[in-house]
Chain A
Amino acid sequence: MANISVEVEGVSHRFGPVVALEGVSFSVAAGQMFALLGPNGGGKSTMFRLLATVLPLQEGRVTVGDFDLRDRARGARAILGVLFQHPSLDRKLTVEENLWHHGRLFGLSGKNLRRRIGEVCEPLGLSERRGARVEILSGGWQRRAEIAKALVPHPQILLLDEPTTGLDPAARRDFWQHIESIRTMEGCTILLTTHLMEEAALCDRVTILDRGKEVATGAPADLVAGVGGSVVTVVTREPGRLIKLAHQDLGVEGHRSGGGVRFDGADGAALVRELNGRFADIIDSVTLAKPTLEDVFFAKTGHGLNE
């Protein structure tokens, strides 16, 4: 199918006795921004490495563009732009030299490559830093140079592994602005892994992974709508007692979450009034919110995303 960019079917992967992925399937349409969301150890890095073709496929089927990874991994590599979690720039070389070598690994050369380097540097604000050695650049600028590097070979699909790890909030915002504009300008499909639900919420579709299994897939808004109602989060010194009392007196089920208690349910506003009225002595604060992807994760797995 021409409009499918990446198709993953029944993929399982083991490291010795440890099962990292178990029967994971999802597909990414061309031009989509797609997130693999999950906690550390959830299996997203393994999935990323399989897609980036640096890990051999053990079980299942993956197609990237028209290429089946089992026998045409090299073809897939030619249409993938990969942004690794760890830096992949040579620190002793300048930004331009890094991009130059990377382009040549993909068969670009001469004037075409020089022009392409200009094209990817300009919107990232890197033009004036092209001649700077990577080792003297700040973390934020290095990240921009990494993005430029991944874009040099005209990728149809951009793979990003935990792309904002280690960036401060300002650099993180900056990063997302650039990704948005790249998407518009280059028209490539973007597939990223993240453990941050705010980042996954920016995507068109999300697959949630937990302990190597696919927990849910869909548009963030649909997934959130599936949880329904609202989420009430209570900060309390006595979570156990509050859960018991709420069950006895109000017939609602609370779950421990972080240091407090959360209630997923339909009428959040009414619940807040009841809780405040009856248990004010053991409650420090109550928050009423619409559900987020984190709540979707909680609803599907019974534990928090970053617990």
Chain B
Amino acid sequence: MNEQTNEQPFIYKLTIYVIGFLLFCEWLLPLETITNTDDVSIFFIYAAFCFFVSFLQVQWWISMPLKFIGLAFILDGLYIAERIFSRDWFSVVYDQIIFNIQVIQTQEWWQMTPLFRSLLFLILLWLMSYLLFYWFVVAKRMLIFVVLTLVYVTVIDTFTFYDGKWAIVRTFILAMAALGMSSFAKEMDKESIPSHWFKRVHLWVLPLLGVIVFSTAAAYASPKLSPQWPDPVPYLKSATGGPGPGGSGAAIQKVGYGENDSRLGGSFVQDNTPVFRAMADGDRYWRIESKDTYTGKGWVDSLDQPTNIYDAENLEYKTFTDNVEVEEQTAMIQMNNGATFQKLVYPYGLGSLLRTPSESNFRLHENTGEIDTLRGDSPAKLNNYVVNYEFPSFEYGQLREATGEDPAEIQENYLQLPDSLPSRVQNLASQIVADEDNRYDKAKAVEQYFSSNGFEYSTTDVDVPSENEDYVDQFLFESQLGYCDNYSTSMVVLLRSQGIPARWVKGFTAGERIDSEATEFSEDLQNTYQVTSANAHSWVEVYFPEIGWVPFEPTQGFSNNTDFYSDIDTDSEDPTAGQTGDTPDQNMGNPQEIEEAESNTDTAGGTSSNGSFMWLYILLGLVVITGIILYFTRFRWMSSLLKRRFRKGGSADRYEQAYQFLLKVLAHKGVKRNPEQTLRDYARSVDSHYQTNEMRQLTNHYERMLYRNDHQNMQWNKVTELWENLIKKALS
């Protein structure tokens, strides 16, 4: 509009451009985390250099060599031993480039040398400095880049290990400042305020700062929704067949089945990645293995041997004797594609396997119950199998009367305790069981001890015991806060201290019941369970002479998936076998009823969302983003739509629509028509705004149609041309 528009004060340009650079830095920052680049600082330095040179706006024949020399120095420092710009130096660079170009031609991308990759990246930085200078300073369009930066940071934060929490905050503040300044400058342009007003700093810097500080503080202080879907990183990793989650070491771990339990403790992140689906007659523990030696920090296995190899038909593993009443049942297990562990997941009373691939063999660790799945001799994942098992039901009376002597082998292996165990643990155990006279009631007392007495279930803020602290002692007396490992380990230790043989068992809980259907394996309906990483669990088995190992469930909020019954009177006797009674025992074998309420057999937190929800959210997000983009670009796409319709041939309706659309576009661009303004009058102001007379011509035609009711003699070509020109002018 006037000559001053392009003459923005130096300080404005500098600030805008520095903000652009800082935003660009947000793009570089995650590189160190998400790629295996050791040191990105050199890239920052080069980017800053390029931005600086671009800002000087010197002639290209100065800036190009400058940037090139910078690039050469970086490559020299990083990769080339020769003296810079010496003959050998150039020949090295030349060889490298020739080699890489050949590599690219043969599409063997992985062969590209680091030097060449760095070169390409530095050139990218170089180009970005131009691009951002153009976007921010010349075109004054920073919104696109700001939005892209925000999207980039959120995507990187969501899908990689990079923590973009502060990056978002920084981006937000920078974006606010940049957009605020640019819209201020645009307003000044529009109102033709001379640019020296810019120097009245207090007039605009203070309000802008105020707005930024206020909105940042408000955003920081306001409550935020917790993440709406599970962290996609483990999900993606498992979906792409990466190593399974679990294990220990990091301070925050992903919940799931892991093999190393020598150091327990620490917080967990919930992970609802599906592991397998099971079809069974009721809730079952999915056992994997037991461990026998408590180290004071965790569990190790001293009874790994002996192992025997069986084929599917002869694989049998029972943890109880024939004195226990059983019911023959069949379950079907379908491992998720993402799950990777090569172990058999089985219910109590494993009898035999069906429908396994030929050459499937199973290496059973006789003591722990760990069963490796083999194809021939080498470990392999078993995807689908049907398992026949004898589902045990333990009779209370029988358990209470099991007073025989434990076999020596059992006593030797399952009463182990570390020497470092503080004596107060044993004292506590004595107190808990003081009133009980039989093993079952003692075990029950210990199991129930955790449901009160101030214990709390949590997967977060769980401590790892320090060097001279005992894991159980810490949980029992200090934190009283933990998850299944804490509860089950503590119960085992407490029982052992009272001379009751017990062991620590790992596997999965029953999972979330998602369906029930008729199957060939059962007369009744069978339930389908979705078992996710979050269902990984540990519980306790207690030895009873002549009965065998009986599962107990000390963890708060979980119910024992084992069946107990009473011979005398089913109604009155001890209904608390399933602890805290969330799932009454009677329900266990009753698949017809799908629980409406959220099942507590999940790990606490009860998150029922899983991967499929994530896609829903992503879809929703895409729809919203598309909607926003369509909204903001509505004038552009609508005009091309109208243009195409217009070209097909004119009609009064189309013309009216197109003209009204033009009015909207113009109004949007700041040349608004008041309702009481005549079209002619408006056309004059539009024309003077765009320095043309096309709006007047177009309006004359429109008036003729509107007020003369004459659309026979329209010169559609002329009208279309005028309209297109005006739309182009308005949108440019």
Is B truly associated with A? no
User: Chain A: residues with CB nearer than 8 A to chain B?
Assistant: none
